[in-house]
Amino acid sequence: METRILPTDLPPLLHHAVDEAVRLLRGGDVVALPTETVYGLAADALNASAVAKIFEVKERPTFDPLIVHLPHKKDIAMVAEVPPEIAAVVQKLTDRFWPGPLTLLLPKKPEVPDLVTAGLPTVAVRVSSNNVFKRVAQGLGRPLAAPSANRFGSISPTSAPAVQAELDGKIELILDGGASLHGLESTIIKVEPGEKKPLITIVRPGPITPDDLKPFGKVQRVDRTLIDEASEAPGQLASHYAPSTPLRLLEKPSDFTPEPGKKYALLSYRGDPEDGYADLTDWEQILILSPGKGKLPEAGVRFFYVLRELDNAGVDEIIAEPLHEHGVGIAMMDKLRRASVKGGHSARLPEVRKKAVLDAKYFDFHGDIQNQELNLPQWRQAGTSYFVTFRLADSIPQEKLEQWSRDRQQFITENPEPWTTELRAEFHKQFSDRFQNWLDAGEGACLLKDEAIAVIVADALKHFAGDRYELGAWVVMPNHVHVLVKPNGGHTLDKILHAWKSYTTHAINKALGREGDVWQNEGYDHIVRGPKAAQAIAKYITDNPAQANFETPYVESRV
């Protein structure tokens, strides 16, 4: 596919570009459009298959919900229900900040596909003030789902060439609206009724600052360590906005000692030698966020651009100076801290890692089985990794499974969401862990303890590895099997699982001279949200034998 970039800087060009974009969107295609924050990859928000294309193009895990952009302020009812108890403050906020870089989380209407909100009951809504974007949305007359127009895990683009660098050949059209005004994604807030004033929670900091919001209620920030990826802001994964070059955010110049032979670039705040960073080493490159002035909004506009440039500078590590942490500086520092995780020097690293490990460890078995039934074939898209568990037919007795399922349902009924971190941990302890423990306790005949049988399974897993799929990690336990697998283009998880199960059933029955089911019918798979979760899952898999006091040669990890 050839990607066209259409200019919009003269009225006839703008008309033509908008017509083309509307035509493609109406046909269920995706188009990259400028907004005042960053470039978005837009699709008709009420057309689930169009929305699915966003995920395909972005290679984004489908659990990440998207922001929905309305044609006009008055169109809020197209996608969201404003609860009466916050209607007044929502009215004031939208009067003041829309169109503009403020996104509200509101209860969603059923018309909004679950794919847009990743199954969440809320939808993120805003109205863009960008003239090109507005014309397209109004021309289409429908809401547009649009995440930033980058591939998952890389930096949000702030110009048409930056979008092209990310998505060339993967989309048909980019409208060029020049450089983004803000260069930082919109501020996302949640609004709740409060005791005296409404409570405004900043879920993602951005161009609209806490000071801007103060006149409208009591403003608080979400404690990042408490963010639950499934219910708050899943996009705030530690790796979400990070450059691929390791980055280290410093607190003060003396925190840095160069290692001999390593190449470094400096992300400088204002390029002032007096700040003490310029002559810490012989920098390969120094880029300045706010040249000579130290103005945060200017730094904001250049932020992603500068990060991208430094990422391409071919250095071993990017060293970032700290910014003033107020106004949009809060958002930039937030992103630098996240990016800093990869460098391995951030003070927040332990918490972030712990969180990823926690998430990966606590699989919600039943929940994920249900997800399979939601009939969202897009979840089986190429490029996604899955954590798969399948177990022997006799590994967990049916009555036990049913009792477990009833207890679990009761817990959910008795404890309506939102859950505290403690409650969530308790839930996982009672249900996810209990399940794992049953498996590890070795219920049933444990056919797979027999090496001659285990090797059949291991061979089956390895048979099409590197061809139909990539094997990240796997283990054959006495009564179950865990696999971290990534299907290759054109091969679906369902087909792969089916092939593994039917081949091994046949071979195991033959070896044992028996007939009938080997595996429990219902499998379990869990989408893997990014590299950190993959690592944690691979660790879980390779640790499983020791955990269950079982020795086996049939365990491997390439992650």
| Residues near ligand TXA (CB under 6 A) | 35, 37-38, 40, 64-67, 101, 103, 105, 117, 120, 122-124, 146-148, 185-186, 188, 203-204, 232-236
Nearer to Mg ion, 148 or 520 (CB): 148
Q: How far is C-alpha 360 from the chain's CA centre?
A: 14
Residue 158 engages Mg ion in binding (rule: CB under 5 A): no
CB of 338 to Mg ion, least distance (A): 12
Name the one range near Mg ion by CB under 5 A: 72-80, 142-150, 314-322, 395-403.
142-150
What secondary structure letter does DSSP report for 341? H
Torsion over CA of 519, 520, 526 and 528, rounded to 10 degrees?
A: -10
Nearer to ligand TXA, 47 or 122 (CB): 122
Q: Tell me if 550 sits within 8 A of 477, measured CB to CB.
A: yes
Cis peptide before 61 (omega within 30 of 0): no
CB of 206 to ligand TXA, least distance (A): 7
Q: Tell me if 41 sits within 8 A of 151, measured CB to CB.
A: no
Q: Tell me if 284 sits within 8 A of 313, measured CB to CB.
A: yes
Residue 151: closest CA among 6, 258, 308, 275 = 308
Q: Which does 124 bind (CB under 5 to 8 A by kind): ligand TXA, Mg ion, none?
A: ligand TXA
Percentage helix, strand, coil, to 5, in the chain? 40, 20, 40
Task: Give residues with Cβ within 8 angstroms of 227, minimum separation 6.
Answer: 233, 236, 355
Q: Which residue has the tokens 């404890």?
A: 415
Q: Which does 38 bind (CB under 5 to 8 A by kind): ligand TXA, Mg ion, none?
A: ligand TXA
Nearer to ligand TXA, 66 or 247 (CB): 66
Nearer to ligand TXA, 103 or 389 (CB): 103
Nearer to ligand TXA, 67 or 115 (CB): 67
Q: Which does 40 bind (CB under 5 to 8 A by kind): ligand TXA, Mg ion, none?
A: ligand TXA
CB of 40 to ligand TXA, least distance (A): 3
Q: Tell me if 321 sits within 8 A of 267, measured CB to CB.
A: yes
Nearest residue to the partner Mg ion, using Cβ: 148
Paired tokens of 388: 């798969």
Q: Which residue has the tokens 């899955």?
A: 386
Nearer to ligand TXA, 120 or 301 (CB): 120
Residue 35 engages Mg ion in binding (rule: CB under 5 A): no
Task: Give residues with Cβ within 8 angstroms of 206, minimum separation 6.
Answer: 37, 101, 182, 184, 185, 186, 187, 188, 328, 331
Nearer to ligand TXA, 37 or 479 (CB): 37
Nearer to Mg ion, 149 or 173 (CB): 149
Q: Which does 188 bind (CB under 5 to 8 A by kind): Mg ion, ligand TXA, none?
A: ligand TXA
CB of 69 to ligand TXA, least distance (A): 6
Nearest residue to the partner ligand TXA, using Cβ: 235
Q: Tell me if 249 sits within 8 A of 335, measured CB to CB.
A: no
Residue 180 engages Mg ion in binding (rule: CB under 5 A): no
Q: Which residues pair with 527 in a beta bridge?
A: 386
CB of 147 to Mg ion, least distance (A): 5
Q: Tell me if 175 sits within 8 A of 8, measured CB to CB.
A: yes
Nearer to ligand TXA, 44 or 64 (CB): 64
CB of 392 to ligand TXA, least distance (A): 38
Residue 32: closest CA among 8, 61, 11 = 8
CB of 421 to ligand TXA, least distance (A): 17
Q: Which residue has the tokens 């219902």?
A: 522
Which H or E run includes 179? none
What secondary structure letter does DSSP report for 80? B
CB of 314 to ligand TXA, least distance (A): 27
CB of 190 to ligand TXA, least distance (A): 8
CB of 156 to Mg ion, least distance (A): 5
Nearer to ligand TXA, 101 or 523 (CB): 101
Residue 265: closest CA among 235, 245, 239 = 245
Residue 122 engages Mg ion in binding (rule: CB under 5 A): no
Q: CA end-to-end span of the chain, whole Å?
A: 32
| One residue of 103, 122, 130, 148 binding Mg ion per CB under 5 A | 148
Interface residue list for Mg ion (CB under 5 A): 148
